[in-house]
């Protein structure tokens, strides 16, 4: 799936892993002069939580990390 103007290894925001395991993703995208910002929160009980953790990779609780774009194959 191609997303115009987006590269696979592009960073699209930052994330934070809380001490309680909650993931907070702050994502941004700029397209045609417009900026889009979004904040997503995933508790460990969320059905998508484990797949997001696998994609992000190892991070320690109470830490901030960069989020790479994800383009499904």
The pLDDT of residue 7 is 52
30/70: higher pLDDT: 30
Which whole number is the average pLDDT over 28-49? 92
8-35 pLDDT, tens per residue? 558 899 999 999 999 999 999 888 888 8
Q: Which residues of 47-69 are buried (b: 16+ CB within 10 A; e: fewer)?
A: eeeeebbeebeeeeeeeebebbe
pTM of the model: 0.76
Provide the token pair at 70.
């994800």
Note the pLDDT of residue 23. Answer: 97
């Amino acid at each position: 799936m191609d997303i115009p103007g987006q590269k696979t290894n592009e960073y699209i925001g930052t994330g934070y892993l809380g001490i309680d395991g909650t993931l907070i993703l702050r994502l941004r995208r700029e397209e045609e002069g417009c900026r889009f910002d979004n904040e997503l929160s995933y508790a460990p009980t969320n059905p998508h939580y484990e797949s997001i953790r696998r994609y992000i990779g190892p991070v320690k609780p109470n830490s901030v990390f960069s989020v790479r774009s994800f383009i499904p194959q």
